[in-house]
């Protein structure tokens, strides 16, 4: 088995929590182990360097169990997990005491919502559901009724409706339905990376279908990652990541439905309840993976007209967006780090530095 990075691909093989894992010591470097975990409907590749196989195996077993719990208890639409119970309680107008495993996500959801001027709104699970994305398989057939979408938008569920008193979570609006899918992967990889560090693992890369957290370095060089190409299989650019950084990309192409030749993505604009159509992908790098993940989703909604302001408000500096015509929008900081594969795109718009306004 090769130890090189595979091209990034999302294997959405149902919501199986854990497939068989493969652990290998690579010929050219016995201190690198590579494992594939089937979590969150995505293949998470975990590469650990610099520890013996036993330590790596132990880490993998722990992480698998933890991922399984996150999958169950952070799940937006399958009953039985803690978030499912919380959603049921809020729908029925009841408050619920939640565990320390879930509570930080509710707190962060409120913060991201506020910072993104409401464009990142994890209370719109009802809209995500009506568009058919609360299902394992790609939705098919007619798109939802305009009136049904309007009713949900007018019910206006937001994180401002949500009250947190100690561990008690309640909502003034029964239309609030939490869906943390916009930052759960980041929160999960942050947790996993922190756990690896606690176990004394200093050099590792966690790659969930192109969303990545890294620890330390790859031997005597930084970890290198690819940013997925929004249109073709493969990567549009590569970038070196510093230890502790996360790289997150949101894309229209990731999950979508098609009806009468139009593609409707799983990223919904809370203002009109419609899937966003202006941005093809948004990439963010930040040491806080949950923030990077949330920001990538928020900036997909913000689009070319508002991304600079929202990125600043969310406190993310390394940002790149690609629109449906292939034009690239990015910060100067991102431009300095990124290396395009092949010819750079024809249209590249670089945001003015903060100092310029």
The helix (run of H) or strand (run of E) holding residue 143 is: none
SS3 letters across 327-357: CEEECHHHHHHCEECCCCCCCEEECCCHHHC
35 binds, among Mg ion, ligand AMP, none (CB under 5 to 8 A by kind): none
Dihedral sign of CA atoms 328, 332, 334, 336 in order: positive
Counting residues that bind ligand AMP (by CB under 6 A) gives 20
The helix (run of H) or strand (run of E) holding residue 211 is: strand 211-215
- Identify whether the C-beta of residue 204 lies closer than 8 Å to the C-beta of residue 46: yes
Residues 226-285 interacting with Mg ion (rule: CB under 5 A): 250
The set of residues, in sequence order, having a beta carbon less than 8 Å from that of 303 and lying 6+ positions away, is 276, 278, 279, 321, 323
Q: Which of 18, 10, 34 is nearest to 68 (CA)?
A: 18
- Identify whether the C-beta of residue 96 lies closer than 8 Å to the C-beta of residue 86: yes
Binding mask 295-314 for Mg ion (x = CB under 5 A): -xx-----------------
Q: Are strands 29-39 and 24-26 parallel, antiparallel or unpaired?
A: antiparallel
CB of 355 to ligand AMP, least distance (A): 30
Q: Is 301 in the site for ligand AMP (CB under 6 A)?
A: yes
CB of 184 to ligand AMP, least distance (A): 8
What does the DSSP 8-state code read for residue 229? P
Range in contact with ligand AMP (rule: CB under 6 A) among 66-74, 197-205, 261-269, 311-319: 261-269
Residue in the structure block whose two tokens are 């049921």: 88
Q: Which residue is nearest to ligand AMP (CB)?
A: 181
Q: How far apart are CA 212 and CA 30, in angstroms?
A: 23
Q: Is 115 in the site for ligand AMP (CB under 6 A)?
A: no
Binding mask 159-188 for ligand AMP (x = CB under 6 A): --------------------x-xx------
Q: Is 270 in the site for ligand AMP (CB under 6 A)?
A: yes
Range in contact with ligand AMP (rule: CB under 6 A) among 117-125, 229-237, 322-330, 339-347: 117-125
CB nearer to ligand AMP: give 203 or 281: 281
Q: Is 289 in the site for ligand AMP (CB under 6 A)?
A: no
Which listed residue (293, 316, 321, 331) binds ligand AMP by CB under 6 A? 293
Range in contact with ligand AMP (rule: CB under 6 A) among 162-170, 235-243, 247-255, 324-332: 247-255
CB of 310 to Mg ion, least distance (A): 13
Q: Are strands 328-330 and 318-323 parallel, antiparallel or unpaired?
A: antiparallel
Q: Are strands 328-330 and 348-350 parallel, antiparallel or unpaired?
A: parallel
CB nearer to Mg ion: give 201 or 268: 268
Beta partners for residue 46, in sequence order: 35, 206
Q: How far apart are CA 276 and CA 40, in angstroms?
A: 23
CB of 56 to ligand AMP, least distance (A): 28
Structure tokens at 347: 């249209």
CB nearer to Mg ion: give 217 or 255: 255
Q: Is 267 in the site for ligand AMP (CB under 6 A)?
A: yes
Footprint on this chain of ligand AMP (rule: CB under 6 A):
120-122, 124, 128, 133, 179, 181-182, 250, 254-255, 266-268, 270, 293, 296-297, 301
Enumerate binding residues for Mg ion (CB under 5 A).
Answer: 182, 250, 293, 296-297
């Amino acid at each position: 088995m090769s130890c090189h990075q595979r091209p990034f691909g999302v294997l959405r093989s149902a919501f199986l929590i854990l497939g068989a894992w493969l652990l290998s010591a690579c010929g050219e470097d016995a201190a690198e182990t590579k494992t594939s975990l089937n979590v969150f409907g995505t293949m998470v590749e975990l590469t650990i360097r610099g520890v013996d196989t036993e330590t790596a195996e132990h880490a993998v077993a722990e992480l698998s169990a933890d991922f399984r719990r996150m999958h169950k208890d952070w799940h937006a639409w399958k009953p039985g997990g803690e978030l499912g119970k919380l959603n049921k309680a809020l729908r029925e107008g009841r408050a619920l005491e939640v565990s320390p495993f879930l509570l930080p996500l509710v707190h962060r959801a409120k913060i991201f919502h506020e910072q993104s001027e409401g464009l990142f709104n994890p209370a719109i699970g009802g809209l995500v559901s009506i568009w058919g994305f609360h299902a394992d398989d790609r939705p098919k057939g007619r798109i939802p009724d305009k009136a049904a979408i309007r009713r949900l938008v007018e019910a206006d569920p937001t994180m401002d409706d949500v009250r947190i008193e100690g561990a008690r979570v309640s909502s003034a609006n029964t239309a609030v339905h939490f869906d943390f899918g916009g930052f759960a992967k980041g929160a999960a990889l942050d947790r996993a990376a922190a756990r690896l560090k606690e176990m004394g693992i200093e050099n590792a890369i966690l790659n969930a279908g192109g969303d990545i957290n890294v620890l330390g370095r790859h031997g005597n060089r930084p970890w290198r990652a690819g940013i997925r190409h929004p249109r073709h299989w493969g990567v549009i650019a590569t970038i070196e990541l510093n230890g502790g950084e996360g790289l997150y990309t949101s894309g229209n192409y990731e999950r979508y439905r098609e009806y009468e030749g139009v593609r409707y993505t799983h990223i919904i604009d809370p203002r009109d309840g419609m899937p966003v159509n202006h941005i093809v992908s948004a990439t963010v790098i930040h040491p806080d993976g949950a923030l990077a993940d949330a920001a990538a989703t928020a900036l997909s909604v913000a689009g070319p007209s508002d991304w600079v302001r929202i990125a600043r408000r969310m406190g993310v500096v390394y940002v790149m967006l690609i629109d449906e015509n292939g034009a690239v929008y990015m910060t100067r900081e991102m431009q300095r780090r990124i290396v395009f594969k092949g010819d750079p795109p024809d249209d590249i718009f670089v945001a003015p530095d903060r100092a310029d306004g």
